[in-house]
Amino acid sequence: MKATNPAAPVGMALPGLVIAVAMIGDTLLYAVLPLYHEEFGLSLVMVGVLLSLNRWIRLLANSGVAAIGERVGPHTLMVAAAIGSVVSTTLYGLVEDATVQMGARILWGISYASLNLATLAYAVSDRANAGKRVGASRAAIGLVQAMSLVGGAWIVLQVGPQQVFLIFGALTLVSLGAALLLPRLPREAVAPGKGFRLPVPHRLEIWGFVMGFSGDGVFLLTLAFLLKDSITSVAAVMATAMLLALRWLVEITTGPLGGWIGDRFGARHVAIANGATLVAGFMLIAVGRDVTGALLVVMTRGMFNTLIPVLVIARGHGSSVLSSQASYSTWRDFGAAVGPLSAPWLFLNVAQGPLYAALAAALGLAVWFCLVRR
């Protein structure tokens, strides 16, 4: 496989494998840590801090990682990030110390920002098929995360919550091996004056913030409350893992489908229709149709993860691919960092109907301003 001609979707196999396997520790942490925080020597308050910390780090790191990536290239960025994922995943189960755990989350935040941007660089090296290639990598991520959640929950029940991260740390070495096998891409020209800065938000960045706050923040944090009556016959960690796995399983199909439709009919038009469906999902939850609404939200989130990167790289603004994607990712991470901090207070103090109706209205306005309006 040559870096200059990865035209077939199969060319995303290695980049997809790197990021998918690197993520398994972080993904499982959301199912395990809240339930077993005492075994890790953590308070519930610290659990909240740790689970949101990597988003705040990504918020600060995206622009800087893009600047570094333009200098060293996506291959080097992937290898360094894979090493970071091995170290952070192993530390989750190795040390019962809040300071060390915070360090591991900071390392993972930087590693994920690097993996995300480098994977996109490999995907869009064949821009004519960018949608299908992004979709292929999202499908690989979804399959591996769903398997690791259910498998990881089973391992927790067999050997314990800390030991599972030592096992996952060893498994994450697969991502490092795959990263070392990646071909090198030509480095992009580095624009003068770029560095570690908060990017100015354009329309897609505004959409990213609203989507991050509502879809990645409030919705994911309240999903277990919306669907908890549907899964009552298994252990709590397994039930939580199954709920989180549902999101990833949906991306296995909606990722490639969204990429194919976007390449065929135009990513912007498909994103508008997808946005309308997302708003409908939030409105269904607002009127008490929780399961149907949640399924619509999960499905549309999966498609947006494929469609939006295509729109981001197509808009230009005179920026490189890495810088343009970093700008969008920063604002989406901002929304996804604020959302989880706000969700508990909102869910306890605002009734489900008004809360989700307000989120639907905010998303509807964002669809019109950021996607429909030229």
Q: pLDDT at position 254, please?
A: 64
In whole angstroms, what separates CA 222 from the centre of its chain? 17
Tokens representing residue 353 in the block: 């109907």
Of 112, 152, 301, 154, nearest in space to 220 by CA: 301
Of 291, 300, 333, nearest in space to 110 by CA: 333
CA–CA separation, 202 and 199 (whole Å) = 9
Collapsed DSSP state (helix, strand, coil) of residue 142: helix
Of 339, 358, 299, nearest in space to 218 by CA: 339
Q: pLDDT at position 131, please?
A: 63
Per-residue pLDDT tens listing for the chain (374 residues): 344 444 343 366 788 899 999 999 999 998 888 888 888 988 877 887 888 888 888 878 877 888 888 888 888 999 999 999 999 999 999 988 899 999 999 999 999 999 988 888 887 666 666 666 766 777 788 889 999 999 999 999 999 999 999 999 999 999 999 999 988 876 654 444 444 456 677 888 899 899 999 988 888 777 766 765 555 556 778 877 887 887 788 767 766 666 666 667 777 888 888 899 999 999 999 998 887 888 888 778 767 777 777 777 666 555 566 677 778 888 888 888 888 778 777 877 888 899 999 999 999 999 999 888 76
CA distances from 31 to 37, 101, 248, 272 (A): 11, 16, 14, 32
CA distances from 281 to 210, 219, 235, 294, 367 (A): 15, 11, 29, 6, 14
Q: pLDDT at position 315, please?
A: 67
Residue 5, judged by CB atoms within 10 A of its CB (0-12, 13-18, 19+), counts as exposed
CA distances from 230 to 135, 227, 240 (A): 30, 6, 12
CA distances from 144 to 244, 249, 354 (A): 12, 9, 36
Of 198, 202, 158, 240, nearest in space to 63 by CA: 198
CA–CA separation, 342 and 140 (whole Å) = 31
List alpha helices for the chain, DSSP H.
Answer: 13-22, 24-32, 44-72, 74-94, 98-123, 130-159, 163-171, 173-181, 203-211, 220-227, 236-265, 267-286, 290-315, 321-349, 352-366
Domains of the chain, start order: 9-185+200-372 (1.20.1250.20)
